[in-house]
Amino acid sequence: FSYVIPSTNITFDDVEQFYIKTLVNKPKNKQMIETHFAKNITFENIPYVFKDGLWFPVGVTSAQRTAILVTLQGRYYNAKTFLLNIHTFLRRQQLTYTVIFIEQVAPVTPRFNKGRLYNTAINYLEKQSLNITCLILHDVDLIPEDDGNYYTCERNHPKHTTIRVRKLNDTRGYTRYYEFLVGGVLLLTFDMYKQFNGFSNLYWGWGGEDDDLALRFIEQKMCVVRPTYESAIYIALQHPTGKRNSARFGLLTWSTLRLYTDGYEQIESLTRIVHINQTSIVTHLQLDVDATR
Ligand code: NGS
Residue 162's Cα: distance from chain center in Å? 12
Beta bridge mates, 166: 235
| Protein residue closest via CA to atom 12 of ligand 1 | 208
Mean pLDDT of 231-242: 86
- Report the candidate in 286, 292, 281, 283 with the shortest Cα–Cα distance to residue 100: 283
pLDDT tens for 281-291 read: 999 999 999 87
For the CA of 249, the nearest atom of ligand 1: 14
Q: Is the CB of 207 under 6 A from ligand 1?
A: yes
In the chain, pLDDT over 90 holds for what percent of residues?
67
Q: Regarding predicted confidence, which is higher, 4 or 186?
A: 186
**Percent of the residues in the chain that have a pLDDT greater than 70, as a whole number:** 90
183: Cβ below 6 Å to ligand 1? yes
Report the complex ipTM: 0.96
Ligand 1 centre distance from Cα of residue 30 (Å): 26
The rounded distance, in Å, linking the Cα atoms of 23 and 82 is 13
pLDDT at 81: 86
Atom of ligand 1 nearest to the CA of 207: 8
The confidence band for 1, taking pLDDT boundaries of 50, 70 and 90, is: very low
pLDDT at 292 (0 to 100): 76
d(C-alpha 192, C-alpha 222), whole Å? 9
Distance 243 CA to ligand 1 centre (A): 12
13 Cα to the center of ligand 1, angstroms = 34
Residue having the nearest C-alpha atom to atom 1 of ligand 1: 207
Distance 84 CA to ligand 1 centre (A): 26
Output the pLDDT for position 97: 97
Q: Tell which atom from ligand 1 comes closest to the C-alpha of 210.
A: 8
Give, using CA atoms, the residue closest to atom 17 of ligand 1. 184
For the stretch 108-157, pLDDT in tens is 877 899 999 999 999 999 999 999 999 999 999 999 999 999 999 999 99
Is 282 exposed, middle or buried (CB count within 10 Å of its CB: 0-12, 13-18, 19+)?
buried
Each residue of 38-73: pLDDT tens digit?
666 667 678 899 998 999 999 999 999 999 999 998
d(CA 184, CA 177): 10
Buried-exposed string 48-67: b where 16+ CB fall within 10 A, e elsewhere: bebeeebbbbeeeebeebbb
B/e letters for 211-231, b = 16+ CB within 10 Å, e = fewer, are bbbbbbbeeeebebeebeeeb
Q: Which residue has the higher pLDDT, 35 or 74?
A: 74
Check pocket membership of 208 for ligand 1, CB cut-off 6 A. yes
Residue 241's pLDDT is 74
From 118, 210, 245, 248, mutation site for ligand 1 pocket: most ligand atoms within 8 A of C-beta: 210
Which pLDDT does position 199 carry in this prediction? 98
Give pTM, 2 decimals: 0.93
Q: Which atom of ligand 1 is nearest to the CA of 209?
A: 8
* Confidence grade of residue 91 (pLDDT, cut at 50, 70, 90): very high
Q: Residue 117 — φ and ψ, nearest 5°?
A: -65, -45
Residues pairing with 68 in the sheet:
99, 136
User: How far is ligand 1, taken at its centre, from the CA of residue 112, in Å?
Assistant: 15
According to DSSP, the residues that pair with 264 across neighbouring strands are none
C-alpha of residue 97 to centroid of ligand 1, in Å: 28
Residue 74 in contact with ligand 1 by CB distance below 6 A: no
The average pLDDT across 194-206 equals 96
Secondary structure element (H or E) that encloses residue 187, with its range: strand 185-188
Distance from C-alpha of 147 to C-alpha of 93, rounded to nearest angstrom? 7
Pocket probe for ligand 1: among 164, 180, 211, 216, the residue whose CB has the most ligand atoms within 8 Å is 211
State how beta strands 283-288 and 272-278 pair: antiparallel
Minimum mean pLDDT range among 7-11, 32-36, 230-234, 266-270: 32-36
Residue among 26, 43, 113, 40 nearest 78 (CA) = 26
Give the mean pLDDT of 252-268: 96
Do β-strands 96-106 and 283-288 pair in parallel, antiparallel, or remain unpaired?
parallel
pLDDT at 29: 56
Q: Bridge partners of 286?
A: 103, 275
CA distance 81 to 283: 16
pLDDT score of 165: 95
Q: In this structure, are residues 169 and 201 in contact, taking their beta carbons and an 8 Å threshold?
A: no
pLDDT in tens, 152-197: 999 999 999 999 999 877 888 999 989 899 999 999 999 999 999 9
